[in-house]
Each structure stands twice: as structure tokens, then as C-alpha cells.
Structure 1
Amino acid sequence: MIVRKRPTFLGLFFILQGSVIQIIWPQILLVFLIGIGVIAGHDYFPSYVTGLDPSPFALIGIALSIFLSFRNGACYDRWWEARRHWGVMIQSCRDIQRQTCHLPDNDDRRALFHALIRFGHLAEGQLRGRNPYWETDAALAEAEQAIGRMERAGHLTHVEALVLHESIARIAASILACERLANTPVPFAYSLLLHRTAYIYCIILPFGFVDTLGAMAPFVAALVAYAFFGLDALAEELEQPFSDRPNALPLSAYATAIEIALRRALGETELPEMPATVRYVLR
């Protein structure tokens, strides 16, 4: 996730880190070169390379903009839902910390906390494709078993144990929702239609500007291509909130936040450091 202060007015035009320009510059260059070719062809071979009526381009551009905004909204909803579920997992771990603060420091309480710490890091690895789902399930099962042992030993009443089981259930429901997001992308046909339409529109756009804008047609076409291809690339990043891309969620930071909270509750002083941003990117 990009973490940085708002840049200055001039800085907005020179920032590359976190900008989709690094991904889409080949498409922009292609549209610009096509625009130059259209101008040259229109000047030297006007009977073969003719300009087009710009009116339809305005209508198509409006429709494409609406289409892009709907897709970006859907992808941002996925990103925000993923962030919300990780917030629930972090909150539930802190709830368990508070719900057990009256207990004596015993092996079962430590086992509960360490199981939740393992769960946080395993969940990060699972959602980024490094380990299977059953390892996170096993960590939650260990936490449930520790709660059961404390109840049988008389450290927890039935009601207290039930409250802890409900907190574990919230964590399990949240990781399941994250699995659903990770394993269910936006339908391919939907994305394919948008890709095709954006490419076709930007490639033929210089033909609509060549008569009215002349030598400026390639620059205007490149600017439109930057907007359309940029929105498309950004939606693609937000569609995968658990990836390693700069705009994805910082899962490692979330897992470390869980670990720090629980280890501090155990009285440990040698705590891990929160991951730092590297070139304004928090992983």
C-alpha cells in the first residue's frame, strides 16, 4: 500500500512510485506513434488516410468512462471489503487479549496467543499463495483447543469460554471472506470487453482529431489513453487486494500488528518491529 504525504503541485507530475504510468507507458507510446502516423498519412496520402467525424468519439468516450467507473467502483469495493475483514481479524485478536486479561499467566493462555500469532502470519501467506488454507484452519483449531483446556481446568466459566469461541468464529468468518475475494476475480468476459473497447477507441482516436487538432492530435490521444488505460490498470490492481503490488493491502504489517499486541499482553519486551515503508510502499 502506498503511504506518503500529498505531493506538491509540481510533484504530482514527476512521481513514478505507485503510479500506473510504469505499467501503461507502452500503450500510451503506441497510441502516440499511431497518432504521428495518422498525421503523416493524412498529409502525404490524404485520399487514403482521411479524418473522421469527431462527434461519435465523444459519445463513445462518455460510455467508456461510465463503464470504467463502474468497474473501478466494483474493484475498490473488493479492496475495501478485504481491508474491513482484516480489521475484524485484528480487532477480534485484541478482543481475545482483553477477554483473557483476568486469567493467570499459564501455558494454555500462552498457547492461545501463540496460535493466533501463527494464524496472522499464515493468513498472510495463504492469501498471497505461499501456504495452503488448512494451515490457517489448524492454527484456529489450536486456539479453540486451548480455550477448551482452560474451561475444563476451571480458569474460564462456560459463558467466558463461549465469548472466546465467538471471537474465534469471527476470525474464521473473516478469513473465509478473504479466501472468497482471493479466489473469485471479476468475471473475465467483463474485463475483456473493457480492454478491447479501450484499445479500439484509443487506436482510432487520432483519426477523429487529425482534422480539428492537426499536430496536437497525437498528444491529445496519448492523454486520453493515459486516463483510460490508467483507470483500467488501477482497477486491475485493486481487484487483487492481497497481491504484492504497490496498491495492495499491507498484509505483513497487519499480521505483525496482531503479533505485537498479543506478545505485549504476554509481558514480552522483545517485540518485532512494524514493517517500514520501502520507497513509500508498505507491504
Structure 2
Amino acid sequence: MIVRPRMHWLRMLFVWRGSVMPRILPRLGFFLALACLAVVLQPLPFNLKFNLREGPLGLLGVALAIFLGFRNSTAYDRFWEARKLWGSLQIVSRSFMRQALSLPTPALSVEERREVTDLLRALALTLNHQLRGTPIQLDTLPPGLRERVEQTGQRAPRVILALADWVARMRREGRLGELLVAPLEANLDRFSEVLGGCERIASTPIPYVYSVMLHRTVYVYSLLLPFALAGSLGWSTPLVSVFVSYTFIALDMVTSELEDPFGTEPNDLPLDALTRNIERAVLELAGEPLPPPTRPDDSFLLT
């Protein structure tokens, strides 16, 4: 995710990092050349304008903008829901840690407190790598957990199971009564809900046929637009047509980034930073030393 201070409106016009301009600039160059070609060919006697008029393309442009806006809203809803799920993960992790510190009788020893802390940190870490499909370094997990997650691809559910085993052990030892087990079990259910919500977003993209239809329409519209404008705008055609093409192509590109919020593109969620925030939250409650927070790099990218 790009995180940078608020900028003056004039500087915002020339922002490069975090925009989609680097990825679509070659395409805009192609449409600029096409628009210049349409203006050059327009006065020739043979019919190169294909009898195109601004009116029909204008209606098509309005419809295209509406559909792109709807797709963009759908993609942003997925992005925002993913962010809320990770916010819930931090809240539930903090609540579980607080209950683990205050409910058992006698209170947890230093080793037991560190065990719960390590499990909660491991849950955020394994979910991060599971959603991004990246390998996890098993030496970052607690020793007792490494063997349990080493042979499975779905490692976050294994961590939740380890937390459930910890609750069951406290109950067997008589340190948690049935009434005290209930809030801990409720938080375990909330962990599973967060995990299921993230998996649903990661495994269910926006329907492919809908994306293909809009993608094709955007580029066909951008190809036809210069020939419809050349007769009335002349050499203003390249400027106008490229700006319109930029608007539609950039919206299409932004939507493709936002629909997968767990990726590693500049506008995706900063899962590494969110994972570190959860680690710091549970360590602070446990009275352990805190790792430094994750900061954006020199290009304002927060991973």
C-alpha cells in the first residue's frame, strides 16, 4: 500500500509511484499514435472515418463509465472487507490475550504467557503467508507448533486448533471453569470467521466473464474514439482521446488491483505491516519487548 503525506494539488498531478501510469503508458502511447493517424487521414477523399459520429460513442462512453464504476465499487468492497477482517483479527487477538492473562487461576507463568503470545503471533503470520501464497519460514513459529503445521498447506487453521488445545488443557487442569471457557471459545469462533472470510475473498474473484467484457469494451472504445473525433476536433483529437482512454484504462487497471487485496501490488493491503501490528498488540499486553513497527520504504510503499 502506498502511504505518503498529503500533497499539494499541483504535485498530485505528477505523482508517479503508486499510480497505474507506469503500467499503461505504452498503451496510451499507442492510442496517441492512433489518434494522430486518424487526424492525418481524415481529410483524404476515401472514407476512413467509418461514418462514426460523436453521439453514439458518447452514449457508449456513458454506459461504459457506469459499468466501470459498478465494477470498481465491487472491487473496493472486497478491499475494504478484507481490511475489516484484518482489523477484527487484531481485536480478537488482543481480547484473547487479555482473557488468557486474567481468567486462569492461578495466573499464567512466564512460559505459559509466552506460549499464548507465540500462538497469536503465529496465527497472523501463517494467515499472511497463506493468503499471499508465499512460503513461511518455519523457524519463525513456536517450536511446539512447527511439526503440526509443517505437513499441511492450510497452516492458519492448525494454529487455531493449537489455541483450542491450550484452552482445553487449561480446563482439564481445573484452571478454567466452564463459564470462563465460554468467552475464549467465542473468540476462537471469531478467529475461524475471520479466516473463512479471508479465504472467501481470496478464492472467489470477480466473475471472469464480466471482467473480460468490460476490458474488451474499454479497448474497442478507445480504438474507435479518435476516428469519431478527428472530423470535428482536428489536432485536438489526440489530447482529448488519450485523456478519455487514460480514464477508462486506468479505472480498469485499478479495479484489477483492488479485487485481489491480498496481493503484493502497490495498492494492495499491507499484510506485513498488519501482521506486525498484531504482534505488537499481543506483546504489549504480555509485557514483552516490542519489535519496531513496519514503516513505508523510501518510495512510500508499505508492504
TM-score by length of 2: 0.89
What SS does the aligned partner of 2:101 have?
A: coil
- How far has the Cα of 1:267 moved from its partner? 2.0
Q: Judge conservation of contact 2:101–2:113 (CA < 8 Å) in 1.
A: no
Shift of 1:82: 0.6
Alpha carbons 1:32, 1:218 under 8 Å: kept:
yes
Query: What do the CA deviations read for 1:64-95 (whole angstroms, capped 9, x no partner)?
Result: 00010010010001001111111111100011
Q: What is residue 60 of structure 1 aligned with on the other side?
A: 60
Q: Given that residues 240 and 248 in structure 1 are in contact (C-alpha distance below 8 angstroms), is that contact kept between their aligned partners in structure 2?
A: yes
Q: Which digits, 9 at most, give the CA deviation of each residue in 1:162-218, with x for residues without a partner?
A: 211110110111111101111111111000000110000011100111011100101
1:129 aligns with 2:133: yes
C-alpha distance in 2, partners of 1:266/1:163?
A: 19
Q: After TM superposition, give the deviation of residue 134 of structure 1 in Å.
A: 2.2
Instruction: Tell me the equivalent position of 1:47.
Output: 46
Q: Displacement of 1:120 after TM fit?
A: 0.5
Amino acid at match of 2:108: D
- In structure 1, what is the equivalent of residue 264 of structure 2? 244
Q: Secondary structure at the match of 2:9?
A: coil
Query: Would the aligned equivalents of 2:97 and 2:116 in 1 still touch at CA under 8 Å?
Result: no
- Paired residues of 1:2 and 1:246 also in contact (CA < 8 A): yes
217-226 vs 124-133, greater mean Cα deviation: 124-133
2:296 corresponds to: 277
* Number of equivalenced pairs: 281
**How many angstroms does 1:100 deviate by?**
2.4
The TM-score, its normalising length taken from structure 1, stands at: 0.95
Give the CA RMSD over aligned residues.
Answer: 1.4
Listed as ranges, the gaps of 5+ residues in structure 1 are: none
* 1:78 paired to 2:78: yes
**5+ residue gaps, structure 2:** 136-151
Check conservation: 1:111, 1:143, Cα contact below 8 A.
Answer: no
Displaced runs of 4 or more, over 4 A: none
Q: CA shift at 1:137, angstroms?
A: 1.2
User: Could you give the per-residue CA deviations for residues 32-82 of structure 1, whole angstroms, max 9, x where no partner exists?
Assistant: 110011111113x33132362111111000000001001001000100111
Q: 2:153 and 2:285 mapped to 1: Cα distance? A: 27
Within 5 Å, which residues of 2 pair with 1:206-221?
Answer: 206-221=226-241
Report if the CA contact (8 A) 2:78-2:258 is conserved: yes
Q: What is the percentage of aligned positions where both structures have the same residue? A: 35
Q: Which amino acid counterpart does residue 54 of structure 1 have in structure 2?
A: E
Structure 1 partner of 2:143: none
**What's 2:208 paired with?**
188
Once residues 69 and 88 of structure 2 are traced to their aligned partners in structure 1, the CA distance between those partners, rounded to angstroms, is 28
Are the equivalent residues in 2 in contact too, given 1:113–1:143 (CA < 8 A)?
A: no
